[in-house]
Structure 1
Amino acid sequence: MQPRSIGMTLLFAATLLLTSGHLTDSVGNVAQEGLLPPTPPVSRSVTLPPPAAPQAQPTKAITAEITSYRVQAGDTLFDIAAKHDTRIEDIVKHNPSIDPAQLSIGQQLQVPVKTIKHPKSRDELADVGERMVLSQTGEPSRYLRKIQGCTLTAYTNAFESTGKHPGDPGYGVTASGRIAKEGLTIAVDPELIPMHSVVYIPGIGVRYAEDTGGAVKGRHIDVFYNDDEYARHFGVKQAVDIYILEEGTGES
């Protein structure tokens, strides 16, 4: 046997003698042989409270400007509403205790101001159209709504379109009260497209929802032209996507 092997054997024997009959626990305490082994350290788990739910930010309600108005002699709710560009029902809503038929001189009212949205003039509507920019796909870069699958037809002031002859009351007048004009006027279903909306029609251009018609329902748009022959040859164009650039007031 080599000397190095003998030395290792002696070291191993000495280790057995030192540890025989004794165990040493993890904290240095000696446990007698035959006793239960030392209790392993207890693992403590800490339960953390759940993270607090994020607080919703309060939403500011948009309210109309309110002004205080003292009733004068001869005032009616209609007059007061007209002065403040508001509706009678808006005044009553903010003054539930008043009797609309019997206002008292000196009575103080809380009157909402400018609650009526007026339709834009044709010049204002034209400004919306002039600011429109087409993207590379041919769609407006900005629009409110896209209505797919519309049907386009054309109409004129002729009797076959309107049922009226020159000289008849309302001849050439649209449902908005404006005179129908080529390049501007279209007839729409106001349930789908509010009156006075600005509409972009690919291949035709920017038009204004100024008219209605008994046969114009749903996704049917009638485009106004002056020339009867051109309107006849316009035919029916199907599956046209149109774009609402600005919603109208919905009022005639």
Structure 2
Amino acid sequence: MKKLLFALTVAMLITVFTSGMNETSAASSVHTVKKGDTLYKISLQNNVSVSNIQKWNNLKSTVIYPNQKLRLVKSSKVAASAPKKQSTPSRSNGDNVSKELMVSATAYTAHCNGCSGITRTGLNLRKNPNLKVIAVDPRVIELGTKVHVEGYGYAIAGDTGGAIKGNKIDVFIPSKSRAYQWGRKNVKVKVLN
């Protein structure tokens, strides 16, 4: 009798647990934009690329508004017709490189004179000093794009700068001394899908 009761309890717990998981994944397929949200923040929270959020919601820019509903998964109509591929690049051997370019790279911090520490995409670099962010010319590398910068690592194109035009980037480094050590160098940038 005890074995039967135990087996029924385990079966019931498994049923409750798996049905709760299905509800969670269904609920996370749509995001309601809150004040302060950016596409980059939403993409990090939901493990989805900014470009996919834009594509799935027919967004022409990265501008979003409070109470806007954003789809975070591919619609079934699109999924049925499109071939399956890796939607987010890994940091190991599965990177899908869409473009490679040589750029002149300098470094910046969140504590320079006149700097607020808030990036163009809304990231607070003072509160998150370990983020890997680069400033780009959005005409060359789209904001929100994942990249790999030679000598810096994986990062997100999350900022712009007045002097960042053409094939120039600024890499975010939390300390001024390390930013000065970076100096100016020519590096290869891989733009990832």
TM-score (norm 2): 0.52
| Matched pairs, number | 115
**Residues 196-245 of structure 1: CA distance to partner in whole angstroms, max 9, x if unpaired?**
0000112211100110000111111101111111101110012x221111
- Please give the residue correspondences for 1:180-219 in structure 2 after superposition, counting only pairs within 5 Å: 180=125, 181-219=129-167
Q: What is the rounded CA distance, in whole Å, between the counterparts of 1:201 and 1:227 in structure 2?
A: 19
Cα deviation, residue 157, structure 1: 1.3
Cα distance change, pair 141–199 in 1 and its aligned pair in 2 (3 A)? closer
User: 1-side partners of 2:105 and 2:161: how far apart?
Assistant: 13
Q: Is the 8 A contact 1:185 1:211 kept in 2?
A: yes
The amino acid that maps onto 2:155 is: R
1:177 CA drift (Å): 1.1
Query: What secondary structure is seen at the aligned counterpart in 2 of 1:121?
Result: helix
- 1:245 maps to 192
User: Which amino acid is the alignment partner of residue 122 of structure 1?
Assistant: L
Q: Distance in 2 between matches of 1:223 and 1:217?
A: 14
Q: 1:132 aligns with which of 87, 91, 94?
A: 91
TM-aligned CA distance change 1:212 to 1:125, over 3 Å: farther
Q: Is the 8 A contact 1:125 1:208 kept in 2?
A: no
Determine which structure has more spread, i.e. the larger CA radius of gyration: 1
Between the aligned partners of 1:224 and 1:178, the Cα distance in structure 2 is 12
- How is 1:77-156 mapped onto 2 (pairs within 5 angstroms)? 118-119=39-40, 120-123=42-45, 124=47, 128=88, 131-134=90-93, 142-147=96-101, 149-156=102-109
How big is the alpha-carbon RMSD for the aligned residues of Structure 1 and Structure 2? 2.7
- Distance verdict in 2 for CA 1:182–1:217, change over 3 Å: farther
Q: Of the candidates 227, 242, 252, which is equivalent to residue 175 of structure 2?
A: 227
Identity of aligned residues (%): 31
Tell me by how many angstroms 1:185 deviates.
1.2
Aligned-pair CA distance for 1:179: 1.1
For 2:88 and 2:176, the matched residues in 1 are separated by 29
The CA deviation at 1:141 is 5.0
**RCO greater where, 1 or 2, for CA within 8 Å and sep 6 or more?**
2
- Paired with 2:176 and 2:48, the residues of 1 have a C-alpha distance of 26
Q: Which residue of 2 aligns with 1:53?
A: none
Aligned structure 1 segments of 4 or more residues deviating by more than 6 angstroms: none
Distance in structure 1 (CA, Å) of the matches to 2:151 and 2:178: 15
**Residues 92-140 of structure 1: per-residue CA shift (max 9 Å, x gap):** xxxxxxxxxxxxxxxxxxxxxxxxxx555235269945x1334xxxxx7
Match of 1:71 in 2: none
For residues 217 and 175 of structure 1, the distance between their equivalents in structure 2, rounded to whole angstroms, comes to 15
Where 1:231 maps in the other structure, the secondary structure is helix
Q: State whether structure 2 residue 118 is matched by structure 1 residue 173.
A: yes
TM-score w.r.t. the length of structure 1 is 0.41
Matched to 1:241, the amino acid is K
| Structure 2: tracts of 5 or more residues without a match | 1-31, 33-38, 50-86
1:125 and 1:198 in contact (8 A); partners too: no
Report if aligned partners of 1:187, 1:209 keep a CA contact under 8 Å in 2.
Answer: yes
